[in-house]
Amino acid sequence: MYPPNFDYVAPASLDEALSALAGADNAKVLSGGMSLIPLMKMRLVRPTTVIDISRIPGLDAITDEGDHIRIGAMVRHAQTATDPLVNEHATALAQAAAATADVQVRNQGTTCGSIAHADLAADQPAAILALGATMVAASVRGTREIPAAEFFVDTLTTTLESDEILTAVKVPKGGKSVYRKLGRRGSDSDYPIAAAAAWVDASYGTISDARIAITGVSSKPYLATTAAQAVVGTDGSSEAIAAAASQATDGVVVLEDLYGTVEYRTHLASVYVQRALEDVLQ
């Protein structure tokens, strides 16, 4: 199926892109296009204007900003997966990017695009949540920063306004993180049936802080707050990890579909929280 007719704009600067977005009644931003184009072909979204930001200079860099790393809007999944800064300071995000779809998608799709798209089973949003990242959104009205914990609202829905572009993600340094998943059809590069990202900050044998995020299980990626609290203040013993894993789906509605029942997904969420914590505490 082909999408309805639309206007195509390829601005040369971010200011031009923001002006075009503000002036359009029903516009969508195109970066890699790996999510938007299929939705347009199925006519699930019908923008009258598509604003292609892929030619804007300066959006394709990963930079060291001192206390955090900054990932620009046009950084591809493959770059996120292999970048030394990301692997050192945001290991879970590098692992999630490496587990995203296939080679073609990883070379074309973007990390910020995946986050803004907010698929309920996407890999990288879970890592972003666990890492305590901040989204940088720009519009003609200015720039604002949105904590990851406040960014994801529901399936394909975020707190981005219709005239905003997600221009970067800021990931704080510190702690250790991992991402673990079970993909559909047994493939590590397929959408996860259940997956968990874990971040911990530990010193002198005690976990002082922790965040656990889960994807593929509910209508959006979410922070498993009670699970994380179960390991804070402990030495990361098997008992503490088991307690955390048992609370992986507390307070959320677990989905059921062709790939798993509620019971199966609940079990998998627990299993992958346990595996992520065991790995990150090694």
The CATH number of residue 21's host domain is 3.30.43.10
The DSSP code sequence of 125-145 is HHHHHHTT-EEEEEETTEEEE
194 and 255 together in one domain: yes
211 pLDDT above the threshold of 90: yes
76 and 116 together in one domain: yes
57 in a structural domain: no
Q: For residues 124 and 148, is the Cβ–Cβ distance under 8 A? A: no
What lies within 8 Å, CB to CB, of 99 at 6+ separation is 123, 179, 181, 183, 188, 189
What lies within 8 Å, CB to CB, of 237 at 6+ separation is none
Mean pLDDT of the chain: 97
Q: For residues 15 and 94, is the Cβ–Cβ distance under 8 A? A: no
205 and 271 together in one domain: yes
Q: For residues 14 and 59, is the Cβ–Cβ distance under 8 A? A: yes
Last residue of a domain, one of 137, 157, 172: 172
209 and 158 together in one domain: no
Provide the sign of the torsion angle of the four alpha carbons 144, 149, 150, 153, taken in this order. positive
145 and 211 together in one domain: no
Last residue of a domain, one of 147, 172, 197: 172
Q: What is the CATH number of the domain that holds 211?
A: 3.30.390.50
243 in a structural domain: yes
255 in a structural domain: yes
164 and 71 together in one domain: yes
136 and 233 together in one domain: no
pLDDT band at 49 (very low <50, low <70, confident <90, very high): very high
Q: Which structure tokens are listed for 166? A: 């997600």
pLDDT computed for residue 181 by the predictor: 97
The DSSP code sequence of 193-222 is EEEEEEEEEEETTEEEEEEEEEESSSSS-E
Q: Can you tell me the distance from the alpha carbon of 145 to that of 43, in angstroms, rounded to the nearest whole number? A: 32
pLDDT tens digits for 55-86?
999 999 999 999 999 999 999 999 999 999 99
Q: In this structure, what DSSP letter does residue 83 have?
A: -
Entry pTM: 0.97
Q: Which domain holds residue 69?
A: 62-172
Q: For residues 35 and 41, is the Cβ–Cβ distance under 8 A? A: no
Name the residue among 220, 214, 222 with its Cα closest to residue 195: 214
188 and 241 together in one domain: yes
Q: What is the CATH number of the domain that holds 156?
A: 3.30.465.10
pLDDT band at 185 (very low <50, low <70, confident <90, very high): confident
pLDDT band at 191 (very low <50, low <70, confident <90, very high): very high
Last residue of a domain, one of 157, 172, 187: 172
168 and 192 together in one domain: no
- Tell me what the mean pLDDT of segment 243-264 comes to: 97
168 and 181 together in one domain: no
pLDDT band at 1 (very low <50, low <70, confident <90, very high): confident
pLDDT tens digits for 89-137?
999 999 999 999 999 999 999 999 999 999 999 999 999 999 999 999 9
76 and 47 together in one domain: no
Strand 134-139 relative to strand 142-147: parallel, antiparallel, unpaired?
A: antiparallel
Q: Which structure tokens are listed for 184? A: 């559909």
**The total number of structural domains that make up the chain:** 3
1 in a structural domain: no
pLDDT computed for residue 40 by the predictor: 95
120 in a structural domain: yes
Cβ neighbours, 10 Å, residue 252: 16
- Tell me what the mean pLDDT of segment 35-51 comes to: 95
2 in a structural domain: no
96 and 130 together in one domain: yes
144 in a structural domain: yes
